[in-house]
Structure 1
Amino acid sequence: MTSGTRPGPRLRLRLAAVAVCSLVLLTGCAAGAKSEPDTAHADRQGPTVIGSDASAEGRVTAALYRELLTGAGQPVRMATTSYTSPAATARAVVAGRIGLAPAYESTLLRTFPDGGTLPGNMPATLSMALPMGIDALPPAAAEHGVVLAVTRATARRHGLHSLADLAGAGRRLTLGGSASGDPDAPTPASLKKAYGVSVTGAGTSATADVLALRGTDPVITRDRLVVLTDPVGVIPPEHVFPLIQAPYAGPAARKALARLNPALTTDQLAALASSVDAGRSPAATARTWLRSRGLLG
């Protein structure tokens, strides 16, 4: 939403709701209204049901949320089924089928595209995309987003550290990888516009010079790939954050979930997902990691 643009229907509704809530607070104070404790919502709503998609990353992130909330004395339980994608999981939270789930910034904005946009202000943009009663809590450092990576040999041969360095490779490079068809993956045209890089999308995961991968893909660590930085920001952000129904987002729950944010980096999340991919349970993986960092008693 830019200056001089009339607010859309969703934003006007939010502004009206703020005005109504302010009036209610004033009249409630005059009548001697009492605030409810954080646990009152949980008692009325039952335990927070935590869900995720079927990926190792989604399941271990949901398990982290469960361990943190349980440690804070919040009643929780895991959903009995997994969803097909992070977008489907986000829709389940909005529909009220589950109360909390891991979500990702760009994926959520594609799933709910009718909100306004405040450039440089992702929290406000997410808030405008979501219906009232659904909260996007602060994100972790970890990103699930697309990255472009090369082998160590390719990085040494061409002196590659950032996407801008690709322009000096001296030949047209091929672009491929498991995430090359992802909506967030940069196209050859976008790389040419942003960095003056000449690449072709004809490569496969086995033959491409430059691989488009999810930042938490275990192959990055396994094959010791070099992730190229993106100084211009041609790839949109995709931090992981808790998407939660407002009745479950009281102060105790917010405080517990926020403990995860600085500690959970992209590398840490990739390692946790790799452990689950190798057959360890998400709950045991999450509990061990949280305890090793002093985040769980």
Structure 2
Amino acid sequence: MNRRRMVVASALATSALALSACGGGSDPLDNSSGGDGDTGSGSSESIIVGSANFPENELLAEIYAGALEAKGVSVSKKLNIGSREAYIPGLEDGSIDLLPEYSGNLLSFLDDKATAVSSEDVYAALPAALPEGLSVLEQSTAEDKDVVTVTKETADKHSLKSIGDLKGKNLILGGPPEWKTRATGVPGFEKNYGVTFKEFKVLDPGGPLTVAALKNGTVDVADMFSTDPTITTNGWVTLEDPENQFAAQNVVPVINKEKASGTVSDALNAVSAKLTTENLTAMMGEINQEQKEPADVAEEFLSSNGLS
């Protein structure tokens, strides 16, 4: 918890700047842009839905938003905010009310001494780790983990099957900027596997920059997401993680407790009940390969699952 307090204190200004650049013309730090905050039922309710800065999280935020709108909730969206260092303070100060999260990485961010690994244990540990005023609703079976990915050529050349096999190989790692300091990033590789890298290159979170860098050899090892169909399409190899550097990563809504009315909770829990790793992977294929907009893919998901 000391890590969370330190990060949140230092990131409040960053949060305000990041949020002000995201979506809409009104001031995102002014809750009046999202309505009166009444937690009653139907259209009297309002909620601000945020997302991290990568397509899958934007997709999930669009799904949450559409499900809530179908129940008469007034929704404002602040998408592509950034990393947890930016949006966790936003959740705390009310700049946003709701955001789709990934259980294991969230727990690790909030409590760097957490030891929970399984889906059930991670979920059980989250309430105590969350900042006051925030809660999680029901988690889905859908899981999207960070995966350490290499090309087949690199795997064959260096006999790579596990993350531990990277030890002593002097390779270049690519990942999001927060991997410089996070326990799931560069420090974790050294602590858990004794692995150090020749260089760390800052890329986007499993996005097009990462894909391009792995394809053209700018990096040898990259952080990607397990639901990304690009991995299979390119015949790339994900390295095993026997030391559980990456814990369970179930998709779960994080929400301001004051906004978690019966209407809102029921709508979001219904979404979680329908989300699976398989349909999330398929939806990401539509976005990454068919170039569909996340909002359109979200609408199709809600319609096909009776949630709109």
Q: Same fold (TM over 0.5)?
A: yes
User: Aligned pair 1:288/2:300, yes or no?
Assistant: yes
The equivalent residue for 1:229 is 240
Distance 2:192 2:243 in 1: 7
Distance 1:45 1:118 in 2: 41
Deviation at 1:275, TM superposition (A): 4.1
Distance 1:48 1:203 in 2: 39
The equivalent residue for 2:123 is 123
Deviation at 1:148, TM superposition (A): 0.8
CA contact 2:175–2:200 (8 Å) conserved in 1: no
Q: 1:90 aligns with which of 76, 79, 88?
A: 88
The equivalent residue for 1:148 is 148
Alignment of 1:1-297 (within 5 A): 41-42=40-41, 46-71=45-70, 73-79=71-77, 83-105=81-103, 108-109=106-107, 112=110, 119=116, 121-155=121-155, 160-163=160-163, 166=165, 172=169, 174-179=171-176, 182=179, 183-187=182-186, 191=189, 194=192, 200-202=197-199, 205=213, 206-216=217-227, 219-261=230-272, 263-265=274-276, 268-269=279-280, 271-273=282-284, 275-276=286-287, 280-292=292-304, 294-296=305-307
Q: Give the aligned residue type for 2:128.
A: M
Change (3 A) 1:209 1:43: closer
Deviation at 1:58, TM superposition (A): 2.5
Deviation at 1:98, TM superposition (A): 2.6
RMSD value, Cα: 4.0
CA contact 2:142–2:250 (8 Å) conserved in 1: yes
Change (3 A) 1:223 1:117: closer
CA contact 2:287–2:293 (8 Å) conserved in 1: yes
SS in 2 for 1:79: strand
Distance 1:133 1:264 in 2: 26
CA contact 1:105–1:238 (8 Å) conserved in 2: yes
CA contact 1:74–1:253 (8 Å) conserved in 2: no
The equivalent residue for 1:22 is none
* 1:34-60 superposed Cα distances (whole Å, 9 cap, x missing partner): xxxxx9634696322222234322321
* 1:158-210 superposed Cα distances (whole Å, 9 cap, x missing partner): 7654435x27x9x73624223486125444x85566457x6633476425443
Distance 2:69 2:199 in 1: 48
Distance 1:240 1:48 in 2: 19
Change (3 A) 1:184 1:142: farther
SS in 1 for 2:48: strand
Q: Which blocks of at least 5 consecutive residues in structure 2 are unaligned?
A: 2-37, 202-212
Q: Which blocks of at least 5 consecutive residues in structure 1 are unaligned?
A: 2-38
Deviation at 1:254, TM superposition (A): 2.8
Distance 2:293 2:189 in 1: 39
Mean CA deviation greater in 267-276 or 252-261: 267-276
Deviation at 1:79, TM superposition (A): 2.5
Change (3 A) 1:229 1:261: farther
Distance 2:53 2:158 in 1: 38
SS in 2 for 1:177: strand
Change (3 A) 1:282 1:186: closer
Distance 2:114 2:190 in 1: 26
Q: Give the aligned residue type for 1:281.
A: E
Q: Give the aligned residue type for 1:224.
A: G
Distance 2:235 2:273 in 1: 24
Q: Give the aligned residue type for 1:68.
A: A
Distance 1:104 1:270 in 2: 15
Distance 1:84 1:142 in 2: 22
Change (3 A) 1:195 1:52: closer
* 1:215-252 superposed Cα distances (whole Å, 9 cap, x missing partner): 45564244232222312202344443211122332344
Q: Give the aligned residue type for 1:70.
A: E
The equivalent residue for 1:24 is none
**Structure with the greater alpha carbon radius of gyration:** 1
Deviation at 1:130, TM superposition (A): 2.7
Distance 2:245 2:109 in 1: 20
CA contact 2:141–2:272 (8 Å) conserved in 1: yes
Matched residue count:
252
Distance 1:289 1:54 in 2: 21
